[in-house]
Structure 1
Amino acid sequence: MSTAVIFVAELGDKSQLMAMTFAARYRARDVLIGITAAAALVHLASVGIGYFIGDAFADHQQWISIVAGLAFLGFAAWTLRGDELTEDEANKARTSQGAAILAVGIAFFLAELGDKTMLATITLATQEGWLGTWIGSTLGMVAAGALPIGVGAVLGKRLPEHITKWGAAALFVLFGILLVVDGIRMIA
């Protein structure tokens, strides 16, 4: 059940756009590994929260949203700062498996904190067993990310790097602002 719930919840989510953007810059395999690692960690925390404290987590969702939004704005600046790389450095960054997995993993981890899929996983864990919920929700997240990874890999080969960079920065700014506004709206 958790696989289906999370898969459907992720359709059209910011995570899919991020997956596509990252796949345009890094190898699809590395993006998938980063997403899998981040999803496994976030959903493990989610089932732990659901199992131990249940609904009390919802009281802090606004602050998580604001912090994640500010982190996304930082990712936008970091993405644009990359303009100074030489061609040789850019090729190394593109092919560095560890750097790609870490960048994708951190971005996805932050994006999913306080997201609807995290809250759905917490809710499922309060009603179902934690292990099945964790495995199922992680599989649902990875499955929902696989399609945009394929699209991003194809686009990355066809789009100039500066367009990919500015597009990624614009998406990070957009999602950062949306997360901060959402957090502020929850406070008010």
Structure 2
Amino acid sequence: MDAFFTSTLTVTLAEMGDKTQLLSLLLVTRLQKPWHIIAGIFVATVLNHGISAWFGSWLSQFLTSELGINIINVSFIAVGLWLLIPDKDDAPNTTLDKYGAFVVSLVLFFIAEIGDKTQIATVLLAAQYQSLFWVTLGTTLGMLLANVPVVFAGNYIMQRIPFTVTRVLAALVFVAIGVYGFIA
């Protein structure tokens, strides 16, 4: 269960102020179909993070030595520091609108997560915990916890949560996980 709770907390915090929250806000203001958008976010996250967790679990076979564990810990610290760099507001491709809110959300969220810090965190968490199911479930829940309120509350939440505070908090969690890995 550590894998589940750590994955949920890590991704929830990492997503605060991330481009996917901006994407959630943009989609709900343009398409006004919150349940379709949430379903798209869910499916995209399960697919993207499931593949990432599988890769992390596979990678863990080769990282059983002390060196491998240290690489994972340094990676957590590096991702934590990366979180301090603000994301850019990437506008989605408007030609996708004709495919409906579900498909647009699924495609845009899947693409937005490629190479994103939460995808990398999913790989690292799966490598650390060697638990494909619990890491995927936790990271998916974390993604939903961060984005569903944005879909439903939209502009209200985005105006009241300072990105800088949540970004620093998420960075501290990643660095703490990395440091804990060294001392545990």
Count the aligned residue pairs: 123
- Local SS of the residue matching 1:12: coil
- C-alpha displacement of 1:53: 2.8
> Are the aligned partners of 1:23 and 1:149 in contact in 2 as well (CA < 8 Å)?
yes
User: How do 1:1-188 and structure 2 match up within 5 A?
Assistant: 1-26=6-31, 27-53=33-59, 75=92, 78-79=93-94, 99-128=100-129, 129-152=131-154
The residue aligned with 1:179 is none
TM-aligned CA deviation for residue 145 of structure 1? 0.3
Distance in 2 between the 1:104 and 1:111 partners? 10
Q: Percent identity?
A: 32
Whole-angstrom distance in 1 between the partners of 2:127 and 2:59: 9
User: 5+ unaligned residues in a row in structure 1: which ranges?
Assistant: 59-71, 83-89, 155-188
CA distance in 1, matches of 2:146, 2:154: 14
Q: Which runs of 5+ in 2 are unaligned?
A: 1-5, 64-74, 76-89, 157-184
Structure 1 CA distance for aligned equivalents of residues 100 and 37 of structure 2: 11
- Superimposed CA distance per residue, residues 15-65 of structure 1 (whole angstroms, 9 cap, x where no aligned partner): 00000110112211111111001111111011011011358xx9xxxxxxx
- 1:146, CA displacement in angstroms? 1.1
Runs of 4 or more above 2 Å deviation = 151-154
Contact 1:22 1:152 in 2 (8 A): no
The structure with more helix, counted as a fraction of residues: 1
Residue 62 of structure 1 corresponds to: none
The corresponding residue for 1:69 is none
1:100 CA drift (Å): 1.1
Cα RMSD after superposing both structures: 2.6
For 1:153 and 1:30, locate their aligned partners in 2 and report how far apart those are by CA, in whole Å: 19
Partners of 1:102 and 1:114 in 2: CA distance = 21
**CA–CA distance in structure 2, aligned partners of residues 102 and 25 of structure 1:** 14
Q: Note the C-alpha offset of 1:153.
A: 8.1
| Partner Cα distance (2:155, 2:103) in 1 | 18
Letter in 2 for 1:143: L
1:76-108 per-position Cα deviation (integer Å, ceiling 9, x unaligned): xx42x69xxxxxxx9xx5xxxx72100110000
Q: Structure 1 CA distance, aligned partners of 2:154 and 2:36?
A: 13
**2:132 is matched by which residue type in structure 1?**
W
Counterpart AA for 1:126: A
Provide the rounded CA distance (Å) in 2 between the counterparts of 1:102 and 1:53.
Answer: 31
